[in-house]
């Protein structure tokens, strides 16, 4: 059954698409073509929604291979994803419940096409640059919308980061990868992530990075249990940016004690 899709134009020609408050994708419209960034769980016919917003050719890009970002690919002919997440994605796609739901609705996952760090997607007057950020998943990517100074981060940078899942890299490895892309905080003003309902200030990236560094440095004495659908792990709360620009009530990194 369809669930609600909340669509909002956050900047001219840039739409936030929040599916049932469970996952968020985006539509970026350029002069020549448009890009869908993440397609959520596939509850709603995203292809039809996108057609109602633009008549330009559409390219679909997945920030990573988790089901709540790729299952909506079923409404498109193809989708780009970093092959580093191929095995992870296949595991979810082959799940019998998902296959049965697809058959019931006459839908199927389209083929993935490779997108790699260093690639640039030219939409005409708007360009998306691809940066690799392995951590939340092995093949996670960030997309910098250069002209609008927006960084699309999927689940790799947000205020409730999940690093406790199977397939997440150790936090030390994530910290190293994050430090290789921290220069992006000078190239973007806002973050749009995979579970957002509004824009976040780019300073979130620095705040979250400091939180991960604290865990890696063993400053975990105040960490609390984190109960989620697959067990109990740990959560590390981190502070706002010292300059006070970033103000959110909750900032936590969820992680496994044996994967730091
Ligand atoms: Zn994810």
Distance from C-alpha of 254 to C-alpha of 233, rounded to nearest angstrom: 7
Q: What are phi and psi of 97, to 5 degrees?
A: -65, -40
Give distance in angstroms: CA of 31 to centre of ligand 1: 30
Which CATH number characterizes residue 189's domain? 3.60.15.10
Give distance in angstroms: CA of 78 to centre of ligand 1: 20
Q: How many domains does the chain have?
A: 1
Two structure tokens written together for 184: 């992006």
Residue-by-residue pLDDT tens, the chain, 260 positions:
568 999 999 999 999 999 999 999 999 999 999 999 999 999 999 999 999 999 999 999 999 999 999 999 999 999 999 999 999 999 999 999 999 999 999 999 999 999 999 999 999 999 999 999 999 999 999 999 999 999 999 999 999 999 999 999 999 999 999 999 999 999 999 999 999 999 999 999 999 999 999 999 999 999 999 999 999 999 999 886 656 565 555 799 999 999 99
* Full domain range(s) for residue 96: 5-259
- Whole-prediction pTM: 0.96
For the chain, how long is the longest CA-to-CA vector?
54
Distance from C-alpha of 244 to C-alpha of 72, rounded to nearest angstrom: 37
Give distance in angstroms: CA of 162 to centre of ligand 1: 8
Give distance in angstroms: CA of 8 to centre of ligand 1: 22
Distance from C-alpha of 163 to C-alpha of 118, rounded to nearest angstrom: 25
Distance from C-alpha of 133 to C-alpha of 194, rounded to nearest angstrom: 14
């Amino acid at each position: 059954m369809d669930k609600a899709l909340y669509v909002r134009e956050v900047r001219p020609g840039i739409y936030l698409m929040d599916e049932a408050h469970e996952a968020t994708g985006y539509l970026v419209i350029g002069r020549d073509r448009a890009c869908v960034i993440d397609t959520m769980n596939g509850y709603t016919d995203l292809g039809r929604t996108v057609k109602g917003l633009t008549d330009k050719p559409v390219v679909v890009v997945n920030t990573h291979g988790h089901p709540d970002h790729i299952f909506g690919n079923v409404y498109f002919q193809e989708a780009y994803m970093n092959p580093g997440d191929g095995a992870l994605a296949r595991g979810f796609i082959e799940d019998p419940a998902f296959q049965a739901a697809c058959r019931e609705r006459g839908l199927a996952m389209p083929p993935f096409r490779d997108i790699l760090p260093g690639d640039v997607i030219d939409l005409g007057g708007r360009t998306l640059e691809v940066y690799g950020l392995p951590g939340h998943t092995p093949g996670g990517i960030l997309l910098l919308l250069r002209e609008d100074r927006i960084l699309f981060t999927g689940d790799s940078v947000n205020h409730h980061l999940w690093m406790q899942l199977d397939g997440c890299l150790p936090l030390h490895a994530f910290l190293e990868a994050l430090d290789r892309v921290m220069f992006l905080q000078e190239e973007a003003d806002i973050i749009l992530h995979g579970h957002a309902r509004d824009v976040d200030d780019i300073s979130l990236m620095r705040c979250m990075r400091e939180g991960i560094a604290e865990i890696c440095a063993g400053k975990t004495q105040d960490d609390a249990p984190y109960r989620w659908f697959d067990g109990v792990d740990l959560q590390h709360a981190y502070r706002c940016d010292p300059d006070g620009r970033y103000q959110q009530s909750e900032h936590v990194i969820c992680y496994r004690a044996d994967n730091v």
